[in-house]
Amino acid sequence: MNRLLDVDGIAVSPDHYIDGRRVPSDQTFPLSSPIDQAVLGAVSEGRAEHVDAAVGAAARAFPAWAALGAEGRKPVLDRFAEEIGRRADAFCRLESRDAGVLLSRMRHGVVPRAMLNIRWFAEQALTLQDRVIHTEQAEHRVRHDPAGVAAIITPWNAPLMLSTWKLGPALASGNACVLKPPEWAPLTCSLLADAADAAGLPPGVLNIVQGAGASTGAALVSDKRLARISFTGSVPTARAIAQAAGANLVPASLELGGKSAFIVLEDADLDNAAATAALMYRNAGQVCLAGTRLLVHARIAEAFVAALRGYVERLVIGDPRDEATELGPIIHARQVERVEGFVARARQAGAEVLWGGGRHPFGAQYFQPTLLANVAQASEIVQNEVFGPVLTLQTFADDDEAIALANGTDYGLGGVCYGETAHAAALAERVRTGFLWINSFGIRDLAAPFGGIKRSGIGREGGDWSFEFFSDVKDIVIPKKPFRASFSHR
């Protein structure tokens, strides 16, 4: 009989999901909640044999799943989305307990988005074979054929959303998948397996193997049977994955960190800009696309900081399961120590703490919203991703200086620019980044591209870009005139 964990009244399996059944492991790792460090249970840790079994199951399931075509896969994926919806309350409460994500954000944002991730790509896949290119010589029928077995590796800051964001196009394209959830927050991915099973996803089409990146993840990405690797996470891990993928010539999509600029021009709506800047503390700052470097025109910097302080002081910090909470805990004790280290070294280097700067008294893994000023462009706190509720403040005198500061890191994921629309849009064209919001933040559409440049990643996700990655693109060429082979070049 399958063992189950009881997490706040939610029954969830701590075991792997391979070839349509639960598979335990003698080797486990402990899981605790970031809210109060309560032990949630022991989770099966994948060894090489579990990875081998999962990839083997996916390889066996792939031909029949691919042969269904987009039309045959869509009803199954639609049911998958429906089963996620039926478990909405469990997903919300589980990820809040497991990862510290705000319960309100799960209910109103994450779970609806997870369902949409599956449905939208299933629908969009129906259009993949309708592309024909006509030239003078031939008709080119462009096909998107399923690639094979896809490895999906997701991070701990948004386990459910990012898993479905990748699984949606991978499964809709006809691939069979092996998902490795984040070690620090694997439980909603386990619940995702229950939803897939109830929806009738054929055994082996979706497999889930839990474990650490250095062991389980390394075994997965080095498997020669993989056709694709999709990863969201840190730069060091991405380098290791890229090396493994390169050895086997497996295409890899790498969505990595950010150190994005939040630019406030002299002609900006200051109050609106400040209110949006306060959102950069969302999810305890554990958001890769947040604009953590505040670049503010010198003439308005004092007024902007005063407005921002007002919004930050009103932030409700507490238990993420409380609907009123706006700022919850950091995922893990090691991550709290990492954030503390960044702030301590910045202070030693001369940074001024305008507010925050240390742990919050609510709990051991809570950190105060922090703003650091007097930071040098070359300093660690400006150049490296903290992944905590820590922002930096720099000022500029003109647009050219703003651009120099914005482009002066090795990252290039996102960005925000507040100002008169035409002015902000013109400046945005000069910022080297994957995307940038004008007078807004967080507007996303599944049809639009998402991804970064430089150390922020390789490739794009979303819309046609996801299908291009998860498919083998084939050109079937039909000549418009009779063709006769000839060795003559005249």
Q: Which residues are catalytic?
A: 255, 288
Terminal Cα-to-Cα distance of the chain (whole angstroms): 75
d(CA 167, CA 154): 11
Question: What single-letter DSSP state applies at residue 201?
Answer: P
d(CA 221, CA 369): 37
Tokens representing 332 are: 């893990």
3-state SS of the chain: helix, strand, coil percent to 5?
Answer: 40, 25, 35
d(CA 180, CA 16): 10
Q: How many CB atoms are located within 10 Å of the residue 241 CB?
A: 25
d(CA 15, CA 169): 25
Q: Is 461 helix (H, G, I), strand (E, B) or coil?
A: strand
CB–CB of 157/288 below 8 Å? yes
For 33, 38, 104, 147, 230, the CA distances from 328, given in Å and listed in that order, are 12, 16, 11, 40, 28
d(CA 412, CA 114): 26
Q: Name the phi and psi angles at 31, rounded to 5.
A: -130, 130
d(CA 181, CA 187): 8
CB–CB of 390/399 below 8 Å? no
For 247, 300, 381, 402, 417, the CA distances from 374, given in Å and listed in that order, are 45, 16, 11, 16, 21
d(CA 152, CA 177): 7
Q: How many CB atoms are located within 10 Å of the residue 341 CB?
A: 12
- Provide the CB-side half-sphere exposure for 291 (13 A, CA): 33
Tokens representing 336 are: 């709290």
CB–CB of 395/373 below 8 Å? no
Closest Cα partner for 428 from 438, 439, 441?
438
CB–CB of 389/342 below 8 Å? no
For 39, 109, 157, 343, the CA distances from 34, given in Å and listed in that order, are 10, 21, 12, 21
Pairing of strands 28-32, 39-44: antiparallel
Tokens representing 188 are: 């909603």
